[in-house]
Structures are given as C-alpha cells and as structure tokens.
C-alpha cells in the first residue's frame, strides 16, 4: 500500500478471542496485503495497516477465523508452511514474524516505507521492497535471522509483487503519481542478479499505454500476470508471451490495494479503505463472476 497524504487513522487493538472462545468479528478499517493460508487452504490472511493486525478470513462469508492484534502497521504478509506469518511494517520499518501461537518477534529492521513482501522460491528468505521514490531498494531477509542483503537498487516505485513460475519477481511500478499520468507499468526482476526490465505492455482497449496506480501483482501457474489497479478500480490480465493487457472484470470497490490467487482458482482483491473484499470466480462460460464480501460484522 502507498499511503494517501493526509489520511490519518488510529489503531485499536481487538483481543484475539472473546470470553467464550469465539473470534471477535470487529471489521477492519481497511485491508492491504493478502496471502492464502498454508495451514487452512481456501482462507486468506490479510494485513490491516490501520488496525495493526493480521486477520485470517473466509472469503466466501467474510468471517474472521483468526486475529493477531497489537502488532505494527502491517502492510503485506506471507505465511510459511509451519504457519508462521511474516509481515512488513511500513511506518516503523520492520519485518516481523508472528508465530502460530501469536507471539511476535522482529526479524529485521530495514527502513521506513518498507512495503511489499514475497517468499523466495527456495523458502529460506523473504524479499521485501519499498514504495517511494526516496527509497528504491529491494532486500532479502533470511528467515533464520541472518544479515539482510541488498538485492537491487535504482528501482522504480514498487508495490505489491509476486514471483512467477520462471523465478522472476513481477512488480507494479509508478505509484500513486500514475493515477494522473497513466504511466504505471510492470517490471520483472531477477533476484539473483538484481537486473530488471520493463514489460512491453500492449493494451487492447483504446490508446492507453500504462496503468493508473497499479498496486498489486500475482502470477498464475501458467504465467498469466494479474494486476490490480487502485483507482479507478480494475483487475487486468497480461499474456506472458504477447504482453497483451485485457480487463478481467469490473470490481465494485475503490482504492484497490492487493490480490491473491487461490489454489481453487478464485481471485481475492483487497482495498485499503473499508472492510470489503472482492472475490472473483470463473463461471461455466469462462467469464468471471464478482462478489463484494464484507469482512467481520
């Protein structure tokens, strides 16, 4: 997520359980990075920046199944096979681990405005990036607590990114400034060498040449690159061979932040204002059905 200037909200810690053992359904003020649960497939972990918490959500119903609060301003999240969560803290500059029992610890202090996170394909480290023009590093944080390594510098403004089946890291660029310019793009980064290149996007709808604030990217197993555009809200697919960009579906939300591709084929998108997620499912004709699901109650 890239913060909107002047937008201020206070965090309120919600307990992980009620006195009867149920999970409080207090809705979040906004939702940011998303990751499918490794231990409960079909449910989604969401980072709630304003609420300083991580939530595990059923995207079919919006029910909150787990809640870890009292954390930093969590911006993006991944989950390891053992259930441990790793999240970035944009305002404090940290990367934290949250263990399955809810205990949290600082993995690394990497600097303010740290934003996207992705688990490296080898599973031994996370890759984190920054979301402002003033800080353009891409870093590797070993999960054993080893020294943080610089992967690349001199990058464009990055946001939510994901690895493709080719091992490259695909990231949206342009930041909030591209809302006005329509010059947001996608880069592919080799995290072994730090080299990156801009994808030669070919928009099939009109004469546009870029996105308006692309805020999240995920890559399907077949190489298709899915992109959320923050505003006006949209979900797009990029052909990995021709780089043709097509609109997938209209999403009934504004200020989209991120997305996750679930193993069952659904796509879930988040927005950094409000408690609504968008859930997209293919129907029998091959088109996408879109539903808006409120999180909590």
Domain ranges of the chain: 34-294
Stretches in the chain below the pLDDT threshold 70? 1-12
User: What is the pLDDT at residue 9?
Assistant: 44
The two tokens of residue 207 are 């004469």
User: Which candidate, 78, 192, 82, 76, places its Cα nearest to that of 140?
Assistant: 192
Distances (CA, A) of 15 to 24, 72, 77, 122, 287: 7, 15, 20, 35, 40
User: What is the pLDDT at residue 275?
Assistant: 96
User: What is the pLDDT at residue 39?
Assistant: 97
Q: What pLDDT digit, counting tens, does each position of 70-110 carry?
A: 999 999 999 999 999 999 999 999 999 999 999 999 999 99
Distance, in Å, from the CA atom of 31 to the CA atom of 292, rounded to the nearest integer, reads: 14
User: What is the pLDDT at residue 177?
Assistant: 87
User: What is the pLDDT at residue 136?
Assistant: 84
- Strand 234-238 and strand 202-203: the pairing is unpaired
What CATH number labels 34-294?
Answer: 2.130.10.10
Residues forming beta bridges with residue 225, ordered by sequence position:
219, 238
Contact between 222 and 262 under an 8 Å Cβ cutoff? The reply is: no
Distance, in Å, from the CA atom of 295 to the CA atom of 274, rounded to the nearest integer, reads: 9
User: What is the pLDDT at residue 11?
Assistant: 52
């Amino acid at each position: 997520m890239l913060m909107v200037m002047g937008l201020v909200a206070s965090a309120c810690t919600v307990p992980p359980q009620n006195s009867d053992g149920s999970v409080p359904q207090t809705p979040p003020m906004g939702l940011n990075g998303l990751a499918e649960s490794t231990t409960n497939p079909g449910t989604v972990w969401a980072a709630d920046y304003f609420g300083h918490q991580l939530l595990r959500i059923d995207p079919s119903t919006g029910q909150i199944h787990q809640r870890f609060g009292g954390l930093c301003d969590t911006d993006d999240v991944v989950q390891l096979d053992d259930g441990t969560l790793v999240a970035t803290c944009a305002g404090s500059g940290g990367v934290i681990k949250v263990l399955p029992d809810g205990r949290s610890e600082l993995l690394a202090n990497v600097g303010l405005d740290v934003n996207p996170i992705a688990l490296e394909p080898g599973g031994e480290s996370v890759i984190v990036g920054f979301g402002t023009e003033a800080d353009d590093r891409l870093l590797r944080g070993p999960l054993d607590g080893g020294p943080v390594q610089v992967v690349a510098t001199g990058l464009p403004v990055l946001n939510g990114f994901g690895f493709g089946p080719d091992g490259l890291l695909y990231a949206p660029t342009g930041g909030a400034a591209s809302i006005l310019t329509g010059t947001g793009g996608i880069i592919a980064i080799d995290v072994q060498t730090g080299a990156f290149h801009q994808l030669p996007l070919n928009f099939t709808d009109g004469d546009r040449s870029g996105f308006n604030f692309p805020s999240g990217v995920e890559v399907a197993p077949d190489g298709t690159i899915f992109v959320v555009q923050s505003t006006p809200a949209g979900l797009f697919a990029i052909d990995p061979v021709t780089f043709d960009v097509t609109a997938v579906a209209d999403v009934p939300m504004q200020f989209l932040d991120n997305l996750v591709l679930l193993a069952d084929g659904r796509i879930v998108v988040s927005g950094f204002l409000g408690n609504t997620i968008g859930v997209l499912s293919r129907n029998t004709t091959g088109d996408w059905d879109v539903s808006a699901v409120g999180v909590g109650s």
